[in-house]
Amino acid sequence: MQIRPAQDADLDAVAAIYAHEVATGISTFDLVPPPRTYWESRLSGAEPGDHLVVAEVDGEVLGYAYSTSYRPRPAYALTRETSVYLAAEARGRGLGRLLYDDLLPRLRRDGVHTALALIALPNSASVALHRGCGFEEIGVLREVGRKFDRWIDTAWFQLILS
């Protein structure tokens, strides 16, 4: 198993993992998978703290984690929102933790102060992952997303990095 920065050749696999979650899960509130250009922009993030890393097992990308700006205003420059997505067959194998063990030190090296993660509820595996990595739950937003004909809550998790 290898955790490494994503490359252009990984983007189709990354997009497929995400598209599966769009179609079957609540971890994203997207209803239509974004085009490849969306993933290209994630890959080419030019700001300190913008990263896309992948988990590769036997030559196959089975998961990824990324960090991106939290909000577009300058005062948020040292805050990043993070996300982890795994292929369905890769869940429960510790890949999410390995991805965060790579991503979070990158954020620290970049001088990022705060990492945030938004988790759609219920999602006990993601909650456990974030708590295990040191994130703390800071609040729940009730019924903010609607997908699969039901209202979904989200919880914000925060990790102070510096």
Distance CA 55, CA 91 (A): 12
- pLDDT tens digit sequence for 39-72: 999 999 888 999 999 999 999 999 999 999 999 9
What are the Cα distances from residue 88, in Å, to 30, 43, 100, 116?
18, 22, 18, 24
* Domain membership of residue 24 as a residue range: 2-160
Q: Is the pLDDT of residue 5 over 90?
A: yes
3-state secondary structure at position 46: coil
Number of domains in the chain: 1
b (16+ CB within 10 A) / e for 146-155: eeeeeebebb
3-state secondary structure at position 52: strand
Q: Which residues pair with 72 in a beta bridge?
A: none
Q: Which residues pair with 21 in a beta bridge?
A: none
Q: Which pTM was predicted? A: 0.95
Distance CA 12, CA 95 (A): 19
CATH number at residue 80: 3.40.630.30
- pLDDT tens digit sequence for 87-120: 999 999 999 999 999 999 999 999 999 999 999 9
